[in-house]
């Protein structure tokens, strides 16, 4: 009788994973948000940024002045989402925020970016959920199709190249790209106007922002 090969031991025991890993009240508001996001949020006109800001705030998001979010974005938990003044999410962006996702002021997250603030602890057989936050600074540009991993912080004024996989923190004021994402060079963040505003004795002021949202290029 031929020897039967020994079956390798299986480390993961998915039959023992938590069936309901969230508080009970979360399931109700998640259901309500899914219904809203699939209907009046997604079907709203392209430039109805104010309407989508209102819906997100209704579900607990903190949205800054003229923060612009496209209707085909997917935000899992609005109550774990903060977005600063004049920042924007492009089309097809996914915010998988089991943990908090914070986006600063004047930051652009381009189309099809995936912000993944949630994972599983692979070191434990039951793969429990983990919820490391993502923090994106002010004046950041995350280019199309990038993937930002759980627990990552991206410093102010940095640029993340298209299709990059950001698996570790990025410093401020750099251009970075690749898989894994690495710093390529410093970003030139000094302009004559900014330098003049920062000189001692200069009245930099805080002009009233215009009323129109930041453009996405659509009509």
At 160, which CATH number?
2.160.10.10
In a domain, 73, yes or no: yes
Give, for all 219 residues of the chain, the pLDDT tens digit: 567 677 778 899 888 888 888 888 889 999 999 999 999 999 999 999 999 999 999 999 999 999 999 999 999 999 999 999 999 999 999 999 999 999 999 999 999 999 999 999 999 999 999 999 999 999 999 999 999 999 999 999 999 999 999 999 999 999 999 999 999 999 987 666 555 544 555 444 433 344 344 444 443
The answer to whether residue 175 sits within a structural domain is yes
Q: What is the reported pTM? A: 0.84
Distance between CA 149 and CA 132 in Å, rounded?
Answer: 9
How does DSSP assign 30-81, residue by residue?
HHHHHHHIIIIITTS-TT-HHHHHHHHHHTT-EE-TT-EE-TT-EES-GGGE
Task: Write the CB contacts of 66 (distance below 8 Å, at least 6 apart in sequence).
Answer: 49, 85, 86, 209, 211, 212, 213, 214
Tell whether 202 is covered by a domain.
no
The domain in which residue 68 lies consists of: 26-184
Q: Catalogue the active-site residues.
A: 120
Q: How many domains does the chain have?
A: 1
Closest-CA residue to 136 (of 159, 161, 164): 159
């Amino acid at each position: 009788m031929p020897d039967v090969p020994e079956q390798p031991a299986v480390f993961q025991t998915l039959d023992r994973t938590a069936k309901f890993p969230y508080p009970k009240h979360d399931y109700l508001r998640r259901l309500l948000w899914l219904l809203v996001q699939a209907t009046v949020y997604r079907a709203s006109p392209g430039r109805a940024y104010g309407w989508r800001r209102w819906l997100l705030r209704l579900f607990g998001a903190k949205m800054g002045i003229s923060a612009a979010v496209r209707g085909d974005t997917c935000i899992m938990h609005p109550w774990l989402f903060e977005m600063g003044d004049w920042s924007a999410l492009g089309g097809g962006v996914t915010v998988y925020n089991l943990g908090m996702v914070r986006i600063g002021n004047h930051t652009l997250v381009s189309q099809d970016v995936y912000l993944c603030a949630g994972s599983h602890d692979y070191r434990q057989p039951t793969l429990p959920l983990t919820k490391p936050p993502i923090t994106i600074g002010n004046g950041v540009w995350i280019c199309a199709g990038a993937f930002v991993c759980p627990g990552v912080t991206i410093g102010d004024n940095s640029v993340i190249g298209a299709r990059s996989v950001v698996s570790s923190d990025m410093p401020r004021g750099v251009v970075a790209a690749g898989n894994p994402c690495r710093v390529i060079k410093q970003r030139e963040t000094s302009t004559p106007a900014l330098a003049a505003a920062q000189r001692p004795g200069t009245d930099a002021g805080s002009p009233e922002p215009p009323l129109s949202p930041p453009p996405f290029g659509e009509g």
